[in-house]
């Protein structure tokens, strides 16, 4: 999450005719299968928090429009939804622990399904990434270690509070909340859920040495630190079936003040345990680098579908570099490619990448995290592709 600045308005131009991309073999646009779910291509719209829900976390009709515009993706993983109130991170993020949340998400899945799209929902608990000004509650975390750089709230950027250490009973209750949210997700029309064990949120906080200072069965050696993630994944798999469950990982990522300390030990152990749950739908590796030893070890150890999110350059993106980054990961063994910013700014991204057409730039970052259609549902599509929504 970034500190918000004053919004600016940019004029985005779109070519009248798609160009042809440089021709070379690729599997990016081939149909494929995900745990029995047919996908039109290997492109995944990555989960991206965009703060367009109501203050209570209910998805809005505007969100249904946004996701339906991007239904040409082989798979959409919808933005993080919290499984309980204390897990909220930022203002106007989505949740899934009430009937109203479930009904709001149902209008989203129905809109996407009407366009032929497929959706999973990411489930995320913020842990120490939260604030009483947002949730009304003191954040809970593995240990009482605060977020170092503060957090954005409705009142602005504030110092992060010291979280309260989860008790064993609260850990068990949180696991149950994830399972209940997964059942609601399926009832709301999602194909499945992605358990978020990445990006410095609660499950990742249990994995990392600097945020997990516990001395009980959930802290200390790697086998203990992966326990909470495994309990959540097992409970969710038991609730909705392992074939409906994906897991997101971010080995070595330091976002939200995370310092794992022993990345090379954590992820082989975690992947080995994940294999024991059953045939999960997928693993999703964030900022995947095909030359990274940990990524290669995950690919070698994981027998199922691997989604990889490539590292893309900052600044304006172009179709050929994005396509090349995707192809490198496919060549390294990835099965599906997750993209974030390109899908945000290009509702017709599949067509643009297929034809080599220029990509819309992402507008001012402020527009990513405020309510309303600007910088959200008003990105233009290619005339040849037709209106996307």
* CATH code (residue 109): 3.20.20.70
- CA distance linking residue 304 with residue 34, whole number of Å: 9
Cα-Cα end-to-end distance for the chain: 27
Q: Between the CA of residue 313 and those of 79, 255, 257, 317, 356, what are the distances in Å? A: 22, 17, 22, 7, 18
Evaluate if residue 15 carries a pLDDT over 60.
no
Do residues 83 and 181 make contact, with C-beta atoms less than 8 angstroms apart? yes
Count of all residues that appear for the chain in the document: 389
Tell me whether residue 194 is in a domain. yes
Tell me whether residue 4 is in a domain. no
Do residues 192 and 120 make contact, with C-beta atoms less than 8 angstroms apart? yes
Tell me whether residue 386 is in a domain. no
Strands (E), 181-324: 192-197, 245-249, 282-288, 306-310
pLDDT of residue 389: 39
Beta-carbon contacts of residue 97 (< 8 Å; ≥ 6 apart): 82, 83, 84, 85, 177, 180, 181, 184
Number of domains in the chain: 1
SS3 283: strand
- CA distance linking residue 292 with residue 325, whole number of Å: 14
Burial class (CB in 10 A: 0-12, 13-18, 19+), 209: middle
Tell me whether residue 232 is in a domain. yes
Tell me whether residue 355 is in a domain. no
pLDDT of residue 182: 99
pLDDT of residue 9: 27
Q: Which residue has the tokens 């309510």?
A: 371
Across the chain, mean pLDDT equals 92
Per residue in 82-131, pLDDT tens? 999 999 999 999 999 999 999 999 999 999 999 999 999 999 999 999 99
Tell me whether residue 76 is in a domain. yes
Helices 227-240, 168-187: crossing angle, 10 deg rounding: 30
pLDDT band at 385 (very low <50, low <70, confident <90, very high): very low
Q: Which residue has the tokens 């294999």?
A: 275
Tell me whether residue 67 is in a domain. yes
Q: What percent of the chain is predicted at pLDDT more than 70?
A: 92
Q: List phi, psi (to 5°) of 194.
A: -110, 120
pLDDT band at 368 (very low <50, low <70, confident <90, very high): confident
Per residue in 137-188, pLDDT tens? 999 999 999 999 999 999 999 999 999 999 999 999 999 999 999 999 999 9
- CA distance linking residue 347 with residue 369, whole number of Å: 18
The reply to whether 201 belongs to the active site is yes
Per residue in 37-65, pLDDT tens? 999 999 999 999 999 999 999 999 999 99
- CA distance linking residue 206 with residue 259, whole number of Å: 11
Beta strand pairing status for 282-288 and 245-249? parallel
Tell me whether residue 39 is in a domain. yes
Beta-carbon contacts of residue 380 (< 8 Å; ≥ 6 apart): 12, 14, 360
CA 182 to chain CA centroid, nearest Å? 15
Burial class (CB in 10 A: 0-12, 13-18, 19+), 167: exposed
Rg (the chain; Cα; Å): 20
pLDDT of residue 383: 87
pLDDT of residue 26: 74
Catalytic residue among 66, 90, 201, 282: 201
More confident residue, 19 or 36: 36
Question: What percentage of the chain's residues is helix, strand, coil (to nearest 5)?
Answer: 35, 15, 50
pLDDT of residue 13: 32
Domain range for 207 is 33-305+328-336
Evaluate if residue 3 carries a pLDDT over 50.
no
pLDDT band at 205 (very low <50, low <70, confident <90, very high): very high
Evaluate if residue 310 carries a pLDDT over 70.
yes
- CA distance linking residue 222 with residue 69, whole number of Å: 42
């Amino acid at each position: 999450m970034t500190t918000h600045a004053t919004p600016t308005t940019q004029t985005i131009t779109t070519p009248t005719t798609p160009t042809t991309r440089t021709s070379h073999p690729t599997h990016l646009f081939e149909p494929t299968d995900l745990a029995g779910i047919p996908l039109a291509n290997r492109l995944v719209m990555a989960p991206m928090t965009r703060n367009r829900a109501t203050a209570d976390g209910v998805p809005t009709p505007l969100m249904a429009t946004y996701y339906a515009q991007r239904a040409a993706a082989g798979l959409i993983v919808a933005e993080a939804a919290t499984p309980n109130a204390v897990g909220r991170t930022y203002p106007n993020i989505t949740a899934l622990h009430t009937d109203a949340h479930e009904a709001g998400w149902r209008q989203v899945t129905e809109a996407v399904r009407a366009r032929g799209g497929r959706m999973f929902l990411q489930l995320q608990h913020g842990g120490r990434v939260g604030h009483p000004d947002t949730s009304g509650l003191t954040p809970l975390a593995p240990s009482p270690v605060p977020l170092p750089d503060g957090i954005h709230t409705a009142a602005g950027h504030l110092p992060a509070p010291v979280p309260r250490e989860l008790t064993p009973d609260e850990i068990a209750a949180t696991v149950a909340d994830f399972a209940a949210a997964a059942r609601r997700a399926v009832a709301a029309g999602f194909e499945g859920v992605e358990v978020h064990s990445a990006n410095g949120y609660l499950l990742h906080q249990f994995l990392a040495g600097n945020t997990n200072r516990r001395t009980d069965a959930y802290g200390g050696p790697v086998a203990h630190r992966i326990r909470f993630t495994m309990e959540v994944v097992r409970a969710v798999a038991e609730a909705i079936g392992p074939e409906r469950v994906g897991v997101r990982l971010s080995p070595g990522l330091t976002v939200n003040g995370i310092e794992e300390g022993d990345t090379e030990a954590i992820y082989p152990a975690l992947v080995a345990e994940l294999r024991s749950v059953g045939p999960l739908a997928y693993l999703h590796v964030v900022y995947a680098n095909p030359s990274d030893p940990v990524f290669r070890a995950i690919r070698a150890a994981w027998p199922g579908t691997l989604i990889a999110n490539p590292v893309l350059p900052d600044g304006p993106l172009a179709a050929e570099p994005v396509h090349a980054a995707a192809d490198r990961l496919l060549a390294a063994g990835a099965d599906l490619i997750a993209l974030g910013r390109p899908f945000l700014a290009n509702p017709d991204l599949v067509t643009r990448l297929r034809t080599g057409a220029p990509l819309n730039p992402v507008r001012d970052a402020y527009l990513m995290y405020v309510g309303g259609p600007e910088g959200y549902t008003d990105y233009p599509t290619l005339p040849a592709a037709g209106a996307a929504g």
